[in-house]
Structure 1
Amino acid sequence: MRNLVFVLTLFLTVTANFAQRSYHEDAMRYFSLNGTEQQYDQAIDQMFTLLKQQYSSQNVPDDIWNELMGDKTEPLRNIKSLLVSAYRSNFSHEDIKKLIVFYESETGQQMVKDRTQLSDSQKVALSDFFSSEVGQKVQNQGDSLRTMVAEVSELWSRDLYTETIKKLKTKGYQMP
């Protein structure tokens, strides 16, 4: 009997973890498709532009900047993981899957690329999407979701900025 309880507990735990991971992975994919990842990639570039200006009197060599900029994969993965929590409280896994389908479509891709260049048929598809249950949810959750995303973004950018300044300090460069 004890073994049966153990096996059932293990099964339920593994199933729950798989479902969470699946939501997480799909949300991460959604952030790559809808332009969120590109937005934060640009934010990292802008932060380094600002830091280079702030440290211009320190004559920090390009190889140090290149090392600090390094691979953006980790900070981008971090912000997307933080955003998953905000989305989880607003959208079900099924909602995220439907958002992925939309953003994988030509209309979704064009909307990310340049919304002003949507064709007439794409405008109809966009209108149909926003009339759908998930589209309505996106519109209705807008303000609360934007607030949560703004808070998460602020924390993430502040931490990234502070961490980069610490790294500069360990290399002997002080904030002027």
Structure 2
Amino acid sequence: MRNLVFVLTLFLTVTANFAQRSYHEDAMRYFSLNGTEQQYNVAIDQMFTLLKQQYSAQDIPDSIWNELKGDKKEPLTNIKSLLVSAYRSNFSHKDIKELIVFYESETGKQMVKDRTQLSDTQKVELSNFFNSEVGQKVQNQGDSLRTMVAEVSELWSRDLYNETIQKLKTKGYQVP
């Protein structure tokens, strides 16, 4: 009997973890599709532009900046992981999957690329999406979600900035 309880507990734990990972993975995919990842990629570039200006008197070689900038994959993964928590409290896994379907469509792709260039057919599809249950949820959650995303973004950018400053210090460069 104990073995049966143990096996059932183990099974339920593994299943729950798989479901969480699946939500996490789908949310990460959604952030890649809807322009969020690109937005933070630009933010990283802007941070390095600002730092280069702040440290311009120290003549830091491009090789150091390139090394510090390195692979942006880690900070992008970090921010997307932080955003998953904000989205989890607002959207179900089913909602995220429906958002992915929309953003994988030609209309979703065009909306991310340039909303002003939507065709008439795409405008109808966009309207249909926003009138759907998930579309309504997106619109209704807007303010609270924006607040949570802003808080997460602020923490992430501050940490990334401080981490980069610390790396510059270890290389012998001081805050101006």
TM-score class, shorter-chain normalisation, is over 0.9
Q: What is the alpha-carbon distance in structure 2 between the residues aligned to residue 56 and residue 3 of structure 1? A: 66
Name the counterpart of 1:69: 69
Name the counterpart of 1:109: 109
- Offset at residue 164 of structure 1 (A): 0.1
Q: What is the alpha-carbon distance in structure 1 between the residues aligned to residue 97 and residue 4 of structure 2? A: 35
Q: What is the alpha-carbon distance in structure 2 between the residues aligned to residue 16 and residue 80 of structure 1? A: 21
| Partner SS state of residue 174, structure 1 | coil
1:11 counterpart = 2:50: no
Name the counterpart of 1:170: 170
The number of residues matched between the two structures is 176
Q: What is the alpha-carbon distance in structure 1 between the residues aligned to residue 31 and residue 84 of structure 2? A: 9
What is the percentage of aligned positions where both structures have the same residue?
89
- Offset at residue 76 of structure 1 (A): 0.2
Q: What is the alpha-carbon distance in structure 2 between the residues aligned to residue 132 and residue 61 of structure 1? A: 52
Name the counterpart of 1:41: 41
Name the counterpart of 1:140: 140
- What is the correspondence of 1:148-163 to structure 2 with a 5 Å cutoff? 148-163=148-163
Name the counterpart of 1:78: 78
Normalising by structure 2, we get a TM-score of: 1.00
- Offset at residue 22 of structure 1 (A): 0.1
| Partner SS state of residue 40, structure 1 | helix
Which consecutive residues of structure 1, in runs of 5 or more, have no partner in the other structure?
Answer: none
Which consecutive residues of structure 2, in runs of 5 or more, have no partner in the other structure?
Answer: none
1:116-142: CA deviation from partner (whole Å, max 9, x where unpaired): 000000000000000000000000000
Q: What is the alpha-carbon distance in structure 2 between the residues aligned to residue 61 and residue 40 of structure 1? A: 25
1:77-99: CA deviation from partner (whole Å, max 9, x where unpaired): 00000000000000000000000
Instruction: Give the letter for the 1:65 counterpart.
Output: W
Q: What is the alpha-carbon distance in structure 2 between the residues aligned to residue 62 and residue 95 of structure 1? A: 44
Name the counterpart of 1:89: 89
Instruction: Give the letter for the 1:89 counterpart.
Output: S
| Partner SS state of residue 16, structure 1 | helix
After the TM superposition, which parts of structure 1 deviate over 2 Å for at least 4 consecutive aligned residues? none
Instruction: Give the letter for the 1:167 counterpart.
Output: K
- Offset at residue 54 of structure 1 (A): 0.2
Q: What is the alpha-carbon distance in structure 2 between the residues aligned to residue 5 and residue 172 of structure 1? A: 58
